[in-house]
Amino acid sequence: KKLGVALLGLGDYATKQLGPALKKTGNARLAGIITGSADKVPTWQKEYEIPDGSVYDYQTLEKIADNKDIDIVYVVTPTALHAEYAIRALEAGKHVICEKPMAPTPEDCARMIKTAADKSRTLQIGYRLHWDPFHLKLMEAIKTKEFGEWKSIDVSDAGRMNDFTRHNAWRVDKELGIAGALYDLGVYCVQAALYSAQEHPLKVTAKSWTEREKEFSEVPEHWEWELEFSGGRKAKGFASYGKNGNHVKVEAEKGLIQIEPAYGYGGQKGSTPAGAMDFQHVFQQQLQIEGQVEAILSGKPSKVPGEMGQRDIEVIRGIMEAAESGKAHEFGKFAY
């Protein structure tokens, strides 16, 4: 039997990536929708054969508790709304997959994690690159020290935004997008830095700045930071809606491991000191959801649990604090 997934928030990512992925997943299918836009309902019902009884809006979400066809709610709204919807879905007894970045603060993440534990449900983050062969190769090479210890890391995820309407509006809104590119794109940099370092950062220095003051009146346009790890080793990071950048570069004892472009849904190119990475294109979101459903079915730990999402938000908040104070922010002990 395939587990039933309900998508909550039918924006760009749900429409273009997650819906199509759920047509391919072997252990899951799209069984329901939760949306505030009644006009989107007929198209989705037709495309995915969703019965009337499995269509909800944000007011009727609690009723999903009685729907036996839906096992998982996949939260795909703007960042600031993830916690509320994830918690309501968990309280209704559903497992939750929550898009990145997990939530505005570590405290929000902790509430989500606690609700999942109280309800004995699984809470996972939509970190699709944990199923991408290029990133898996990078993680494995570092873990096995195939090219020796890492010496320095450089990560960048940035793209110049020129249209500030539609689904970009919330991204530059402080209430919904929190800190702009640092959350939306920087979370990939934090992820890549941490799975390249394979350890927690000790401290961070950072700065943020804005060139286009009118468009970026609420959140900074550019973010730059430097995480410090054991032995004084550094990971430089850059996230921006004003410039471009898309790489992870890890200098190891035996040479460079790199992926560039790194963060797209495909099109990765990478190399190690042993030569070019030669992998077939995969449908990341299909493999991700299959892997996440497998974790639910098997009861084995997820590769991308809520705790990992919380850890990343702790790092992001540290970057924000360092940028605001102009001083190094020292991290406490991470729980995950």
Give the interface with ligand NAD as residue ranges (CB under 6 A): 9-14, 36-37, 76-79, 81, 99-100, 126, 128, 167, 170, 176, 184
Residue 312 backbone phi and psi in degrees, to 5 = -65, -35
Closer to ligand NAD by CB, 108 or 226: give it: 108
Give the nearer residue to ligand NAD in terms of CB position, either 104 or 318.
Answer: 104
Report, in Å, the least distance between residue 88 CB and ligand NAD.
13
**Minimum gap (Å) between residue 183 Cβ and ligand NAD:** 8
CB nearer to ligand NAD: give 205 or 246. 246
Conformational region of residue 14, where left means phi above 0, alpha means psi within -120 to 50, and beta covers everything else: alpha
Which position's Cβ is nearest ligand NAD?
11
Q: How many CA atoms lie within 13 A of 59 on its CB side?
A: 3
Closer residue to ligand NAD (CB): 127 or 229: 127
Of 103 and 320, the one with the shorter C-beta distance to ligand NAD is 103
Residues constituting the chain: 336
Work out how close the CB of 107 gets to ligand NAD at its nearest, in angstroms, rounded to a whole number. Answer: 18
Least separation, in Å, of the C-beta of 79 and ligand NAD? Answer: 5
Nearest to 96 by CA among 111, 105, 224: 111
**Contact call for residues 221 and 242 (beta carbons, < 8 A):** yes
Cβ atoms of residues 220 and 209 within 8 Å: yes
Other CB atoms within a 10 A radius of the CB of residue 145 amount to 13
Q: How far is CA 102 from the centre of its chain?
A: 7
Neighbours of 169 (CB within 10 A): 13
Q: How far is the CB of 195 from ligand NAD (least distance, A)?
A: 16
Query: Which neighbouring-strand residues pair with 28?
Result: 3
Contact between 257 and 273 (Cβ < 8 Å): yes
Closest separation between CB of residue 131 and ligand NAD, Å? Answer: 11
Q: Which is nearer to ligand NAD, 78 or 242 (CB)?
A: 78
Say how far apart CA 73 and CA 211 lie, in whole Å: 39
